[in-house]
Structures are given as structure tokens and as C-alpha cells.
Amino acid sequence: MAEADESAYRTFYDAYFDRLSRYLLVVTGGDEDAGHEALQAALVRVVRHIKVFPNDAVFWSWLTVLARSALSDQTRKRRRYLAFLDRFTQHAHVEHAAQGDDQPDAKLLALLGRSVAGLPPDERALVERKYFVRQSVREIAAELQTSEKAIESRLVRIRRKIKDTMLASLKHE
Amino acid sequence: MNDPADNERLLTDVLADEAGFREALFSETVRLARRRRRLRQARRATAAVAVLVGLAALVWQSLPPRGVVPQPTGKPYVVVRTQPLPETALVTTRRLSADRLVASVATASIVATPANSGQFQEIGDDELLALAAPRPVVLVRLGPHSEELVFVNPEDQKGFPLN
């Protein structure tokens, strides 16, 4: 990565992009836009300060520090007129979030479970067929006597619904 | 209890990128990394050139300046060697024989002046005009002690008998 090798960055993205994205989604309390912005700033810092780390745990810890500092900086820029108060609250927020550095996915998975459980029965059944019974879209369409395209469209809407529910839950926590 | 892998798959799909954010960010990240690598290489090249220029300057200063002829370190004088002239190049003199001598005689005459020859008499303006009369003359006063006698007829300038 220090030599700007594209394949190295591809490997890094495959391994850490989703993880870091989810982490920031939790830290920002479900603010997807803020999470994206912080993720972008964090990756810029990765490019600038990349170095050799002894193991994955240390590297992930470093990534979370970059992500939190990027989020803190961007929030401070947005609210410059309340810099002191904002820094204080962000510090408290980051400290709180830092306690769950190793469990962002656990939190999201818990929210996912709650969101799926809150779905109407027909939608929950469709999700269970697709993801837990591992039926193909064609099989589901055949059993429900509908088209694959219709099943795909329903799944897209349901996933969007689950995501919205999860983000709303994160904001209210 | 669902399989964790199934939950992970569902979570991945739920949070899936819908607007190509991941690929866009990946491209931007790689572009930034390449730009930083180019800057780093440029900095290294600049530093190398600076070192080379510095070394060249040091070498240049250590060389003797061009255009100055080094002075010889020999003796501070020039040795001039002489040799005798050949006989044919010598010119000799000898006494002239008595029959070829020519004696000179005194032919110049000496003119002497008497002791009272320096006596003269000053005349005034009127006496001067009287000497020139009857020829027309004009006595022109040029300054306090300077006067000029001008003959009106140019023929008189050549001379004439005094009265």
C-alpha cells in the first residue's frame, strides 16, 4: 500500500471496507452520510500514514482511531462556532463508542435480528427463505407462483426497510 | 438459532452499497496513493539532484581557477652567456701619417667696438615727428608707454633720408 499498489488496496478494501463502514455507522449513530464522509476522510489518512503493523488486531485498532478522529474533525468543522462544547461532546461520544470497538458488528447483528423480527410475517418469511433456508430466487418464485423479478423487487424493498429500521434504531440509542 | 454466516450475508446485503460509493471511494483512494507516491519520488529525485549539485560545487571549488598561468618556480634571474667576436668583425684605429696631416690657419677677423659706443640720446614725440617731416606720419598711442609711428604713404615705410 505504501507503494500505491492497486492490488494491495483492493485486498485492503475487501478485508476492511465493510467492517470500517459498519463501525462508523454504529459510531455515528446510524447517520449514513456522516459515516460515508468520515470513512472517506479516514481512508485518506490511511493513504497518508500507512505503515507496517505487527498483526491484524493492531491494524484494526489503528483504523478505528483514524476513523474516530476523522469523524471528530468533520463534526468540529460543521459546528465551529460551538467548538469547545462540540469537542467535549464528541470526546464523550467517541469514548463511549470506543468501548465497543470490537463489537460493532455484534451491535448491528442484534439490530438486524430485531428489525427482521419486526417485519410483517410475509416479508419475514421471504427473508428467511432467502437467507436462512438458502433458497434461490427461482425456487422461491416457483413456490410462491410469481416471477423471479417480482421476488427480487420485494427483497430489495424489504432490505431497504430493514436498513431504515436499523438506522433509526441506531439514532435513537 | 440462525447460522451466523446467514446473518452476516443478510447484513451485508442490507448494508450493500447502492450508489457505487465503495468503488468510487476505492478509485479515489488509489488515485490519492499514486499521487503521494509521485510526490515522494519527486522529493527523492530533488534531494538526489541537490546532493549531486552540492558535490559538483565542492569539486569545482577545489579545482585551480582557469586562465591563470602557473608561475615557474625557478631562479629569480636570467643567465646571459657571452662569447668573443671574430677577428673580421673587429674595427681597429691607428695613428695617421705626418704627410697626410692638414694644418689650419687663423682667417677670422675680430671686430671691436669703442667703449663709448653704447651712448645714445632719447628724443620726444615732437622731435620724432620733426625727423619725419615733411612726410605725413601719425603717432598712434597704444598704451601708457607704447606708441606706434605709422607712415601714411606705404612708400615711406621702405625708408627715406632724414632731415
Does B2 sit within 8 Å of A112, measured CB to CB? no
B146 falls in which pLDDT band (50, 70, 90)? confident
Q: How many C-beta atoms lie closer than 10 Å to residue A169's C-beta?
A: 19
Taking CA–CA distances from A107, the nearest residue in chain B reads: B11
- How far does B43 lie from chain A, in Å, by closest CA? 15
Amino acid (1-letter code) at residue A45:
R
**Angle formed by the axes of helices A148-172 and A6-27, to 10°?**
60
How many CA atoms within 13 Å lie on the side-chain side of B31? 6
How many CA atoms within 13 Å lie on the side-chain side of A163? 19
Residues 6+ apart with CB under 8 A from A101: A23, A61, A64
As a whole number of angstroms, the distance between CA A107 and CA A75 comes to 23
Residues from chain A contacting residue B29 (CB–CB below 8 Å): 9, 13, 43-44, 46-47
Residues from chain A contacting residue B25 (CB–CB below 8 Å): 17, 39-40, 43
As a whole number of angstroms, the distance between CA A73 and CA A65 comes to 12
Q: Which fold has domain A106-172?
A: Arc Repressor Mutant, subunit A (1.10.10)
Residue B47: pLDDT above 50? yes
Q: Give the nearest partner residue to B30 out of A6, A113, A116, using CB atoms.
A: A6
| Global confidence as pTM | 0.55
User: What pLDDT, on the 0 to 100 scale, is given for residue B98?
Assistant: 83
Q: How confident is the prediction for chain A on average, in pLDDT?
A: 84
Interface predicted TM-score (ipTM):
0.73
Residue B142: pLDDT above 60? yes
Q: How confident is the prediction for chain B on average, in pLDDT?
A: 83
As a whole number of angstroms, the distance between CA A13 and CA A16 comes to 5
DSSP string, chain A: -TT--HHHHHHHHHHHHHHHHHHHHHHTTS-HHHHHHHHHHHHHHHHHH----SSHHHHHHHHHHHHHHHHHHHHHHHTGGGHHHHHHHHHHHHHHHHTTTT-HHHHHHHHHHHHHHTS-HHHHHHHIIIIIS---HHHHHHHTTS-HHHHHHHHHHHHHHHHHHHHHHHHH-
Residues from chain A contacting residue B28 (CB–CB below 8 Å): 40
Q: Give the nearest partner residue to B26 out of A3, A9, A112, using CB atoms.
A: A9
Across B125-145, average pLDDT: 86
Amino acid (1-letter code) at residue A90:
Q
Residues from chain B contacting residue A6 (CB–CB below 8 Å): 30
